[in-house]
Amino acid sequence: MEESSTIIIEIFSKRSIPQLRLAFSSYRHIYGHDFIEMIHLSLTADATKKTVLTRVMIGSAEAGMEKVKAAYARRYNLKLEDAICERVSDDEIYRDFLLDLSNGHGKDFGCSVW
């Protein structure tokens, strides 16, 4: 997992929006699932997965978070923001950072599940 995490972080930190969209498409083709599933699986407190989740969320914010949120809701029948609130409850600062990314930079956010 460490090697693939490093590759994913490199992709998200060094690529343009069109390159990220192509990376999403290629990832889905190669691995049989997309970054929506990666977000879902990474919503745990594991430090390695937090790094991957952070980069995927940042890349998603840059490439079109509304589409990511809609796809997540369709697939898991749960709003991405609610999933973040439920699964990242142990670290308020990190949770709020992810919520901020999911709602657009600087917009008001909060956990509706509390």
92: pLDDT confidence band, cut at 50, 70 and 90?
confident
Domain presence at residue 111 = no
Domain presence at residue 18 = yes
Helical segments of the chain, H only:
2-14, 17-31, 35-42, 47-76, 80-87, 92-103
Residue 50 pLDDT exceeds 70: yes
Domain presence at residue 7 = yes
Domain presence at residue 109 = no
What predicted TM-score, i.e. pTM, was given to this entire model? 0.68
Which of 1, 91, 92, 101 lies closest to 41, judged by CA?
1
Domain presence at residue 65 = yes
Q: Tell me how many domains the chain contains.
A: 1
Domain presence at residue 108 = no
70: pLDDT confidence band, cut at 50, 70 and 90?
very high
User: Domain span at residue 43?
Assistant: 2-103
Domain presence at residue 114 = no
Which of 23, 10, 32, 109 lies closest to 69, judged by CA?
109
Domain presence at residue 21 = yes
